[in-house]
A = this chain, B = another copy of it.
Amino acid sequence: MLEDSETLTIRLSADDNVVVARRNIAGDTRVVSEGVTAVDGVPQGHKLATKAIAANEPVRKYNQIIGFATRPIAAGEHVHEHNCAVQEFARDYDFCADVRPVPFVGDGAQRNFAGYRRANGRVGTRNYIGVLTSVNCSATVARFIADAFNRSGMLDDYPNIDGVVSFVHGTGCGMASSGEGFENFQRTLWGYASHPNFAGILMIGLGCEVFQIPRLMETYGLSDTDSFQTMTIQASGGTRKSIEAGVERIKAMLPAANACKREDAPASELTLALQCGGSDGYSGITANPALGAAADLLVRNGGTAILSETPEIYGAEHLLTRRAVNRQVGEKLIERIHWWEDYTRRNGGEMNNNPSPGNKLGGLTTILEKSLGAAAKGGTMPLSGVYLYGEPIDTKGFVFMDSPGYDPCSITGQVASGANVVCFTTGRGSVFGYKPSPSIKLATNSLMYENMSEDMDINCGPIAEGAVSVEEKGAEIFEKILAVASGTPSKSEELGFGDNEFVPWQIGAVM
């Protein structure tokens, strides 16, 4: 019998009945950490049963059901297509079946961070002044206004202001004036205008665009205030006069913005955007579950974690409906799934997140397991709400916000929904950064981390190397979230990212 080290397998949850092979495990190898002996060979990335699983019993990974035994499986057996499948389960939403109460941390054990408490009671993690645009036609004017502050030293006397940031984009006209696309965009702009990471907002339009600022203000009952100003270029007499007027309006906001100070706030005021981009074979076994552990810690502290990227959880929606706190929440998710089926169909495509032959060679057995690799960053807490893209999140806990998987587009929606900090897992190496909410990047593997260490905040590769557990890495990520939320710059902030990644989700014909 071969002897193992302690590091032969990765356990993704204490309650799982399978573990993942860190490297190829030969038959008859003793897996000491799990107290089992491999029956047959288990290739790297594939699953090994840690206890006997009876026929039709669930196979659990990430403490979630990834399939059912199609025949009795012995402890130590390789678990894959030959003995595990999804069967009828995939059609049963079984709303709320898996809801367990959130194990909130006890009184006095809750963690705090240092944030900016706003007049409306929300807490920011940064203190920017935002220049929002209703249409591409006001993009250059908005850029010039922001540049006037950031490149002139004009902010030197206002050390508590993180900067003046312009948010420009390619839409706002040549679009329908109602319907899904319009509503997505309207929610996004309003979500930014009301985001707690801003001490002040200037919103600039051209004047004749489809997306009318006065209509936005009427919809949300807004009026111009000291910290919320609107203007159009046409009413201001052109480019130069608009820049001058915009600079004056922001100058008037600086003293009040600079008077904002960080103060202690409970971690329950954090809303964390969960995101992955440039995934690889390690994403589902290192960075995503570690981020899930961090999300669980945040939720147990009373905070909020937003899972999104609907196409990437497709096929595993019934695992989320089982965690839904009530039937209505579960049904809203299913409604979104059906919407996506229609959205892709009318655009000549289809939803399909089934494991590819390559996925299967790598050890992914079922669509549930594949989608759970993405969803693992959501952790294991009950699903307390489902939201449209950019819809304001009005509950605490683990929630879902509908979006594409495309990183800048998805995060734009998450931030509009209220995320004040972002965690981003990447295997191939994304250099993503964002404003106004800081983004923490989590590498899935050490090779990429070493190659792109200047861009990566945390290396989750050691999980695959057996040097650290998912729980330990999750705790490290949680500490990093609190530190960055309190003002420590993330890597992407040090590098100056965040001025070019505002990408509202466009739906519908460009006219």
- Please report A residues at the B interface, Cβ cutoff 8 Å: 136-137, 139-141, 143-144, 151, 168-170, 173-176, 179, 206-208, 233-234, 237-242, 277-278, 311, 343-344, 346-349, 404-409, 428-433, 451-455, 495-501, 503, 505-511
Contacts and interface: CB of A to CB of B under 8 A. Distances in A.
A240 B141 CA distance: 28
B174 A511 contact: no
A508 B347 contact: yes
Contacts of A206: 278, 429-431
Nearest to A176: B349
B455 A238 contact: yes
Given A239-B454, A346-B346, A136 B408 contact: yes
Contact of A501 (B136, B207, B233): B136
A425 B136 CA distance: 17
Q: Count the copies.
A: 2
A136 B499 CA distance: 11
B430 A500 contact: no
A137 B207 CA distance: 31
A430 B239 CA distance: 10
A346 to B, nearest CB: 5
Nearest to A433: B140
B174 A409 contact: yes
A207 B174 contact: no
B509 A343 contact: yes
Given A347-B509, A349-B508, A499 B406 contact: no
Given A239-B454, A344-B509, 10 more contacts: A137-B277, A139-B501, A169-B170, A170-B170, A179-B348, A206-B429, A234-B451, A238-B431, A242-B431, A346-B347
Contacts of A452: 234, 237-238
A500 B143 contact: yes
Contact of A505 (B498, B499, B505, B510): B510
B431 A233 contact: yes
Nearest to A311: B511
28 contacts: A137-B408, A137-B431, A139-B500, A139-B501, A140-B499, A143-B500, A169-B170, A174-B406, A176-B348, A176-B349, A179-B348, A208-B428, A208-B429, A234-B452, A237-B452, A238-B431, A238-B455, A239-B431, A239-B454, A239-B455, A311-B511, A346-B347, A347-B508, A349-B509, A405-B511, A406-B511, A409-B510, A506-B506
A234 B428 contact: yes
A490 B502 CA distance: 29
A410 to B, nearest CB: 8
A348 B344 CA distance: 14
Q: Rank and list the top 10 A-B pairs by shortest CB-CB distance, nearest first.
A: A174-B406, A139-B500, A170-B503, A208-B428, A238-B452, A347-B509, A404-B510, A208-B278, A238-B455, A234-B429
A246 to B, nearest CB: 13
Contacts of A454: 238-241
A407 B172 CA distance: 11
Contacts of A242: 431
Contacts of A207: 278, 428-429
A429 B238 contact: yes
A456 to B, nearest CB: 8
Nearest to A142: B500
Which of A176, A278, A509 has the most C-beta atoms of chain B within 10 angstroms of its own C-beta?
A509
A179 B344 CA distance: 13
A237 B450 CA distance: 9
A407 to B, nearest CB: 7
Contact of A500 (B168, B173, B238, B311): B168
Contact of A239 (B409, B495, B498): B495
Given A347-B508, A510-B409, A500 B237 contact: no
Contact of A406 (B208, B508, B510): B510
Contact of A174 (B151, B344, B405, B433): B405
A430 B137 contact: yes
A137 B439 CA distance: 14
A248 to B, nearest CB: 18
Contacts of A409: 170, 174, 510
Contacts of A511: 311, 344, 349, 404-406
A497 B144 CA distance: 10
Contacts of A506: 506, 510
A428 B495 CA distance: 40
A206 B429 CA distance: 8
A506 B507 CA distance: 10
Contact of A140 (B239, B278, B500): B500
A79 to B, nearest CB: 30
A453 B173 CA distance: 24
